[in-house]
Amino acid sequence: MPQSGLPEVTVPRRLRAPAPGWTATADVIVVGSGIAGLTTALRLRRRVDRVLLVTKTVLDEGSTAWAQGGIAAVMSPEDSPAEHIHDTLVAGVGLCDVDAVEALVREGTDAVWDLIALGAEFDRGDTGGLSLTREGGHHRDRILHAGGDATGREISRALIAALDRVRDDPGIEVIEHALVVDLLTDADERVCGVTLHVIGEGQVDGVGAAHARAVVLATGGLGQIYASTTNPSVATGDGMAAALRAGAVLADLEFVQFHPTVLWLGEGSRGQQPLISEAVRGEGAFLVDEAGERFMQGQHPLADLAPRDVVARAIIARMRETGTDHVYLDCRHLGAEFLEQRFPSIVQRCRELGFDPATQLLPVAPAQHYASGGVRTDLRGRSSLEGLYACGETSCTGVHGANRLASNSLLEGLVFARRIADDLTTRLAAGELPEATPVAPAGQPELIRGKRRLDVQRAMTAGSGTVRSAASLAATEQTLAGLAARAVDDDADKQGGPKSWETTNLLHLGRALTYAAALRDETRGGHVREDFPARDDAHFLHHVHLRRSGSGVLEATVVPVPPSNLDGLDLDGSGASTPLDVLDKARAEGTVTTKPLARHTQSVDQTVDDTKETQ
């Protein structure tokens, strides 16, 4: 097994928080109200008696509502599941779980049609057909979008409207401003609830305990772990951190996607930064350097539409060569009229910030965008802990491997939420996952002050960010260990609060991510390992699984990936004998057929039956 070279890392079992002052019960607790949490809760409530949906702030706060580009799915007869699968596997650089990708793509089409039937309105062309576009790494037009570049907002609106229609149903309870702090476990380490802090009224106020037969974590990503990210402020990795502390396996944490084209607002900019969607390049925008020279041509056959890691690396290389901290995106030739109609939100945001994409070059640089790893699950969404499920960006289903293909994450949340709801329905009806009694966790709780957040972010950006090395990872861990060591001195924040809980979550995840990153020499997927620049398949093909042992020490298991995972993948984009060629040939020979898209003819006016199903 490779050595991380880092000292032992310990993580406590829980965060310091007041003892629960109230208790609630449910069959299933769903944590988070993005596409993953809302889809799970809506599907569950039709079959399970008591569903409790809790969310940290308000229902539409999360990455889902920020998604611009769209949702990928095979919706056109020109496309095929095999091609979407191939593009996903190539982006994941051989580390995807092929079964998970198959499930994503093959169930994705129906899941999207169901979303449309639920009320999501995607953009359509003049003849009324769905308008499909293309993004980096996709070889076919398969990205559905809404409101031009407001896809996530529309999906979020449709799901919340569906929830509002059933809100009076006694089978579902929704609590907003409810921050889950930790997971409750019984004597057999089965997850049986959560502790949560609610800003509420009456009985449900302050820290309480919610007990359930199962918990679904759908808390989104961890973008706030870095100084600069496209993720909203709620993306503090709370669910991943709670799962880590409870002993669940986390996988592929080191694979963080840095989006190549985030508007560069100057060196001091912190927190959520404006994203310039890949779809803008999909419509013809291209990258240039300081001298106005295009630099993506010749780097990859897809040039400016190469997979994100390729584009991000090329930008980083060009910034280093020219000694600058950004490059430029040229959209001017697309024209004001087209840009305003196709990308209304992006254009408006740019103009608010003093940049006009129709007349000016946009300064852009890579920033954190997506967590490809997370709580390791199987194809049913089950984690390594009985009673605990994870969905959406919090999870690691194996769909993304080393790098997520653009617009596959909304699809993943949608498809795996359905799988989780179906699995839980079957298990609860069969009497599995009986109610359990939580036991008090062993060991000392930990908490650092909220004001230390910038220290965590700076350390992660400097050493565990886009450019990494053994030395930079070691320096980051040293800083983070120093912050953890000072936790005991942070008396002023003894009982904690949202800011300090979130910041401690970032610290725990930062240490885990850095540890996992140090176990991987050559790396791909949005970031660069500068001390291992050459491709090295033999040492690359593994997953790092991390879990907290009973003593609190992080234990890593290196899980090899068979070299055959790379077979047939056109990883360098040379196009030589790719599976697409093989597919085309097979189609011509009639040995492969495109899956019929029967639901294309379905009326989009169909509404989903909201009535409760009987078991």
Ligand X SMILES: Cc1cc2nc3c(=O)[nH]c(=O)nc-3n(C[C@H](O)[C@H](O)[C@H](O)COP(=O)(O)OP(=O)(O)OC[C@H]3O[C@@H](n4cnc5c(N)ncnc54)[C@H](O)[C@@H]3O)c2cc1C
Give me the residues that bind ligand X (CB under 6 A), please: 31-37, 54-57, 61-64, 66-71, 151-152, 178-180, 218-220, 230-231, 234-235, 238, 275, 370, 392-394, 407-410, 413
- Please give the span between the terminal C-alpha atoms of the chain, in angstroms, as a whole number: 48
SS3 60: coil
| Torsional sign, CA 421, 224, 504, 376 | positive
d(CA 138, CA 42): 31
Cβ atoms of 132 and 144 within 8 Å: the answer is yes
Q: At 591, which amino acid appears? A: T
SS3 414: helix
d(CA 256, CA 246): 23
Name the CA dihedral angle for 21, 25, 29, 31, rounded to a multiple of 10 degrees. -20
Cβ atoms of 344 and 148 within 8 Å: the answer is yes
| Antiparallel, parallel or unpaired: β 271-272 and 143-144 | unpaired
Minimum Å gap between C-beta 412 and ligand X is: 8
Cβ atoms of 477 and 469 within 8 Å: the answer is no
Residue number, 59 or 287, with CB nearest to ligand X: 59
Within 92-165, residue ranges assigned H as helices are: 98-118, 151-165
Give how far Cα 31 sits from Cα of 12, 180, 242, 567, Å. 22, 7, 12, 38
Residue number, 378 or 521, with CB nearest to ligand X: 378
Residue number, 24 or 481, with CB nearest to ligand X: 24
| Antiparallel, parallel or unpaired: β 132-133 and 143-144 | antiparallel
Give how far Cα 263 sits from Cα of 149, 285, 331, Å. 16, 14, 13
Minimum Å gap between C-beta 409 and ligand X is: 4
445, 446, 455, 450: which is closest to 510 by C-alpha? 455
Strands (E), 159-315: 172-175, 178-185, 191-198, 206-211, 214-217, 228-229, 250-251, 256-263, 271-272, 286-288
d(CA 507, CA 137): 33
Cβ atoms of 218 and 391 within 8 Å: the answer is yes
Residue number, 26 or 180, with CB nearest to ligand X: 180
SS3 329: strand
Residue number, 196 or 385, with CB nearest to ligand X: 196
Minimum Å gap between C-beta 342 and ligand X is: 14
Minimum Å gap between C-beta 562 and ligand X is: 28
Residue number, 228 or 409, with CB nearest to ligand X: 409
Active site residue 190: no
Residue number, 410 or 512, with CB nearest to ligand X: 410
Q: What is the CA radius of gyration of the chain?
A: 23
Minimum Å gap between C-beta 277 and ligand X is: 6
370, 367, 179: which is closest to 272 by C-alpha? 367
Minimum Å gap between C-beta 258 and ligand X is: 12
Minimum Å gap between C-beta 472 and ligand X is: 25
What is the Cβ-side half-sphere exposure of residue 493, based on CA atoms within 13 angstroms? 24
Give buried/exposed letters for 565-590 (b at 16+ CB in 10 A, else e).
bbeebbbebeeeebbbeebeeeeeee
Minimum Å gap between C-beta 291 and ligand X is: 29
Minimum Å gap between C-beta 614 and ligand X is: 29
Other C-beta atoms closer than 10 Å to the C-beta of 53 total 28
d(CA 412, CA 418): 10
Minimum Å gap between C-beta 301 and ligand X is: 23
SS3 content of the chain, % helix, strand, coil (to 5): 35, 20, 45
Catalytic residue among 153, 245, 308, 547: 308
Minimum Å gap between C-beta 260 and ligand X is: 13
**Tokens 């965590």 appear where?**
456
Mark residue 537 as left, alpha or beta (left: phi above 0; alpha: psi -120 to 50; beta: remaining): alpha
- The residues assigned a catalytic role are 308
